[in-house]
A and B are shown apart, each in its own frame.
Chain A
Amino acid sequence: MGEIFDKIFHMTALDSLIDQPQFLIMYALAFLLLYLGIKKEFEPLLLVPIAFGVLIANFPGGNMGVLAAVDQTVNGILYHNAITLADGSIWCNADGIPYNIYEVGLPQIAHDLGIMNFLYYALIKSGLLPPIIFMGVGALTDFGPMLRNLKLAIFGAGAQFGIFAVLLVACNFFTLPEAASLAIIGGADGPTAIFTTIKLAPHLLGPIAIAAYSYMALVPVIVPLVVKLTCSEKELRINMKQQDKLYPNKTEFKNMRALKIIFPIATTTIVAIIVPDAVALVGMLMFGNLIKEIGNNTSRIFDAASNAIMNSATIFLGLCVGATMTVEAFLNWTTIGIVAGGFLAFGFSIFGGIMLVKLMNLFSKKKINPLIGATGLSAVPMASRVANNIALKYDKSNHVLNYCMSSNVAGVIGSAVAAGILIAFLG
């Protein structure tokens, strides 16, 4: 009888949990993220799958944690992209030679390493899902406000300052590809951060994705904080509509529909020529937008891109990213560095956008509210909504939402271009 109970005990995960209580920390993290996603509604579409991925990846024996491929030396011979299994042994063939995971078929990965590794190596590590999500984002984005206020789009570049500034700091503590993956959090764009990390430092994917989405969810806290530290009340009272009346924009729009159709094609061409490494993201973003703007003739694929495909991609992206956060991958000083560095990158990006507005206001008669620079991040449309609320606090007639959307949407392009540059130089 005792033997049966002993066997049942070993069959459960309780045995391993007692041996390795650090798993409990991962459960606490998963529960916290679930709470933030469900109760506090912080980016629930992504935080809930990520949190659940963390949870299921950390049950000993569940075979759901993503195993990182790293170069390993066995008996003095270097093996590329070898996999260390949960029990510490290396995944080998019948002759005892470690597998290179990229030379193994997906069915064998699913069979030997579990379904989550199959999904991770097929969908994430291949770099497939972030561009697919960008296509959906493009299908949901309206470039109209940007076309109506084209000049303001430049702040989408100013707000990429945080990425490169934090790269300067982080390179003292991380390798350059790792530092670049951390710094891209400053772009405030989850898929871009994931895409860059997959290319440059895939072993940091979990913490970087979590930090990126957490800070994006904290935009309503971080933007007001940086604005309060850097802007005067006089600047925040700059009324954009009054400025438009004083210095009217003479641009006429005689055919906005044609403009919106040509714009994604033109933007893709420009970006493809200058930064080819950014085309996977910008190209798919613009493709999604194009099928939206064409209208009835492409409404079926627009519907697929913005609903079914994007939602499926979001589920798998979230679960797989969460499943990379195993005890070994998460509970270390690197993660703490990423969390701190990500916050700095985010803050510096907002700061960069604000400073560019201030600089332009020095030389221009038509003044711009610095909040429009603060929204050069690509957290669309949350950053714009937050900025609009701040403007309304100081002047109830100062609706800056449409102006902010210009720099905000430009920020999506800016951060994708910045990612392309980092991948081109460090990938």
Chain B
Amino acid sequence: MSDSGNFFEALKLLGIGLSTVFLVLILIIQFGKLLIAAVNKFAPEEDEKPKKVAVATAQVAIDPNVQQAIELAVKTITDGKGRVEKIERI
């Protein structure tokens, strides 16, 4: 192919290529918007209410995750024999 032939082929690719990339991303954007609306309507996330955990120390609020971690640690160290009765902030 001659140089000018190459140039026109490249020019054609510029037009087709850029428009296709734009088309694909516009479609992804529009489809993404549709998807957001559809998910909001048909599959909204159910708010998981935090489970009530009996906390030994009523006066001091302990994060349930922290309490769970402490209980697990005690269980592991004492081979399941020990248990947590009270957690206090010092």
Q: B-contacting residues of A (Cβ < 8 Å)?
A: 147, 150-151, 153-154, 156-157, 160-161, 163-165, 167-168, 171-172, 175-176, 179-180, 251-259, 262-263, 266-267, 270-271, 274-275, 410, 413-414, 417-418, 421-422, 425-426
Contact = CB atoms under 8 A, between A and B. Distances in A.
Main secondary structure of the interface of B (DSSP, over half): helix
B73 interface: no
Interface string B44-75: 11000000000000000000000000000000
Contact of A266 (B9, B21, B35, B40): B35
A255 B7 contact: no
A171 B33 CA distance: 39
B82 interface: no
B31 to A, nearest CB: 6
Contacts of A154: 22, 25-26, 29
Given A154-B25, A254-B40, A258-B39, A167 B14 contact: yes
A256 B40 CA distance: 9
Given A150-B29, A151-B29, A274-B20, 11 more contacts: A150-B32, A157-B21, A157-B26, A163-B17, A165-B14, A168-B7, A267-B28, A275-B24, A410-B25, A413-B25, A414-B25
Contacts of A422: 13, 17
Contacts of B7: 168, 171-172
Contacts of A275: 20, 24
A179 B36 CA distance: 40
B16 interface: yes
A167 B18 contact: no
B1 interface: yes
A46 to B, nearest CB: 25
A425 B25 contact: no
Given A150-B29, A254-B44, A259-B36, A274 B24 contact: yes
A421 B16 contact: yes
B11 interface: yes
A185 B23 CA distance: 22
Contacts of A266: 28, 31-32, 35
Contacts of A160: 17-18, 21
B4 to A, nearest CB: 10
28 contacts: A150-B33, A154-B25, A157-B25, A160-B18, A164-B10, A164-B17, A164-B18, A167-B13, A168-B14, A171-B3, A172-B3, A175-B6, A176-B10, A179-B10, A251-B33, A252-B36, A255-B43, A255-B44, A258-B39, A262-B39, A266-B35, A270-B28, A275-B24, A410-B25, A413-B28, A417-B24, A418-B21, A426-B13
